[in-house]
Structure 1
């Protein structure tokens, strides 16, 4: 369709939906980055949607529309942290490592490297959720239950896969293995060793690998 413009005809410019989506996604990423910085510096209760929106350069309406408020933002931060820092999501890389492993100790060391990568992203968010839940926030208490349940379900999945591969010492049940995975990757361990004792993330990963090997792998292997 031709539209006259100042006595000439010019093709109407098509609506660029992809450009608008890119801008919206960039704004969404900015909100998440700002939320992480404010929540971890100020705490959940002290951070307001108005402050967050102002610092991120968006409207409060944008925050509510995209995240549903502060609990939704924390949930999004948690989900984002589980991806890790690589181009391939950490969960996919973990599944591949378990499927390809032929040496139990090498796999436990790989799990330790995943902990070193993911803990700096996820553990502070989980501790934020825990503390907000302890302060009496009902939405965050529910989120904490969901996070714990989902994390344990993932550890149980890992336990079943590794046991089925025959890589662990005899006599372990899937619950035994899942419990060790769950405890060894807890935010509380990160809090104790990294935040309180000043360990590096790499040292935490190596320590976690040692815990896993000591509890799950036959010492003769």
Structure 2
């Protein structure tokens, strides 16, 4: 009976080791894309930073554009679970808040935490988009996904009957204030705390979108 148990243990251990290797690669890639730039970072650079062979990076992610895509997904979600953002419990709790002013305040807190994880990477992708087709495609996808997410938030907000503006205006206001630019300017450059920024963003949305 010891044979099958040992094989099962070994298999689980190998899966966990592979997952940990992927995490190291993703962390290394994120750091290098932000500090060095997407265009100036090679797979060999990522491998060296992660302490693995370049072949390991290729085996896990195939190429640099696929690696960038996965780095972004993990940054947005905050972990490597394959769960869409709108289906995550923390965001479902935000959408379940019946009072729209309180909902916008909670969404601002959620968004601020997401900006802490993604804003620098978004700026790096934006900076590389002019010369790197993969970065340009990634930037388009990021904006498209964010617009779709904000459309869902606007639709849910309109459903409460508490909006003072049309649904498409709510969508566009949310979309234009969640790309990381405001967070970068006020938190990174003007040294606001995340707490101050989140409170301000919630008030901004309430002033622009509620009676």
Instruction: State TM-score, norm by structure 2.
Output: 0.88
Contact 2:151 2:168 in 1 (8 A): yes
Contact 2:25 2:57 in 1 (8 A): yes
Picking from 43, 53, 59, the partner of 1:49 is 43
Question: RMSD over aligned Cα, in angstroms?
Answer: 2.3
Contact 2:122 2:180 in 1 (8 A): yes
Q: Hey, what does 1:205 align to over in structure 2?
A: 198
Deviation at 1:58, TM superposition (A): 1.4
Contact 1:90 1:114 in 2 (8 A): no
Deviation at 1:89, TM superposition (A): 7.7
Q: Which ranges of structure 1 fall in alignment gaps of 5 or more residues? A: 2-9
1:124 correspondence with 2:120: yes
Q: How does 1:14-33 map to 2 (within 5 A)?
A: 14=7, 16-33=10-27
Deviation at 1:190, TM superposition (A): 2.0
Picking from 160, 169, 174, the partner of 2:155 is 160
Contact 1:84 1:117 in 2 (8 A): no
Instruction: Specify which structure has the higher proportion of helix.
Output: 2
Runs (4+) of structure 1 exceeding 6 A deviation are none
Q: Hey, what does 2:129 align to over in structure 1?
A: 133
Deviation string, structure 1 residues 38-74 (Cα, Å, up to 9, x no partner): 2212111222211210221212112122223222222
Picking from 168, 181, 193, the partner of 1:175 is 168
Q: Which ranges of structure 2 fall in alignment gaps of 5 or more residues? A: none
Contact 2:100 2:160 in 1 (8 A): no
User: Quick check: which has more Rg, 1 or 2?
Assistant: 1
- Gap change, CA 1:110 and 1:90, over 3 Å in 2: farther
Deviation at 1:150, TM superposition (A): 0.6
